[in-house]
């Protein structure tokens, strides 16, 4: 099936789309059935069955909606960088990591995906308000903006295997998420 990943929805929203006949197609290894109320006319209980991936009927998303830069947060940043300090290479839990601005904000750097990397607290303090070159601390990897599929993977903890297969088909070849152990 064709289609681009757009967003995560709740099971309630999936039922809403099915009930309003707005599902164009659904795929996935998992199906989920939800029971509704009992009809006064027929005495039968309603049931909606859906799969783990659904496409919604209607207008296709504007290309700008699919290429929109996802919101930046430490949780997704640390996941993008695989919890790896960009300077010393240590892999640490999120509680021991910080957001480092490659070009410091104090020097005109912006708080955007292309200017931030994950850093351990000691490296971030050592770098201080300097650029990596000024601090003589080489970056081990370059920052990048995750695409929509990457962002959906980064922001969800419990992704079913069929959903992950669908999303990984939309990752760029150079995505770090393809190399996750």
Q: What angle do CA 158, 150, 103 make, to 5 degrees?
A: 120
Give the number of other Cβ atoms within 10 Å of residue 162's Cβ: 15
Burial of 57 (0-12, 13-18, 19+ CB in 10 A): exposed
> The pTM is what?
0.68
| Per-position DSSP letters for the chain, written without gaps between them | ----------HHHHHHHHHTT-EEEEEEEEEEEEEEEE-TTT-PEEEEEEEEEEEE-SSPPPHHHHHSPPPP-HHHHHHHTTTB-TTT--B--GGGEEEEESS-GGGT--SSGGGEEEEEHHHHHHHTTS-HHHHT---SS------HHHHHHHT-S---HHHHHHHHTTS-TT-GGGG--
What is the model's pLDDT at position 24?
A: 85
Name beta bridge partners: 56.
Answer: 23
The per-residue pLDDT for range 29-62, each reduced to its tens digit, is: 888 888 888 888 999 998 888 888 888 887 655 5
pLDDT in tens, 85-138: 999 999 999 999 999 999 999 999 999 999 999 999 999 999 999 999 999 999
Determine the pLDDT at residue 126: 96
Q: Which domains does the chain have, with CATH numbers?
A: 11-66 (no CATH), 74-135 (1.10.30.50)
């Amino acid at each position: 099936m064709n289609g681009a990943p757009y967003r995560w929805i709740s099971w309630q929203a999936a039922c809403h789309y099915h009930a309003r006949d707005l599902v164009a197609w659904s795929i996935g290894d998992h199906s989920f059935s939800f029971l509704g109320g009992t009809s006064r006319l027929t005495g039968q209980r309603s049931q909606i069955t859906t799969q783990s991936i659904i496409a919604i009927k209607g207008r296709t998303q504007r290309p700008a909606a699919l290429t929109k830069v996802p919101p930046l947060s430490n949780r997704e940043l640390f996941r993008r960088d695989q919890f790896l300090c960009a300077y010393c290479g240590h892999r640490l839990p999120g509680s021991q990591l910080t957001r480092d601005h490659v070009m410091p904000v104090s020097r005109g750097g912006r708080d955007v995906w292309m200017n931030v990397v994950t850093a351990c607290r000691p490296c971030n303090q050592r770098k201080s308000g300097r650029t990596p070159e000024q601090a003589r601390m080489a970056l081990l990897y370059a920052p990048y903006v995750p695409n929509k599929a990457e962002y959906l993977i980064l922001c969800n903890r419990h992704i079913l295997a069929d959903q992950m297969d669908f999303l990984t088909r939309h990752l760029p070849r150079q995505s770090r998420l393809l190399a996750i152990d």
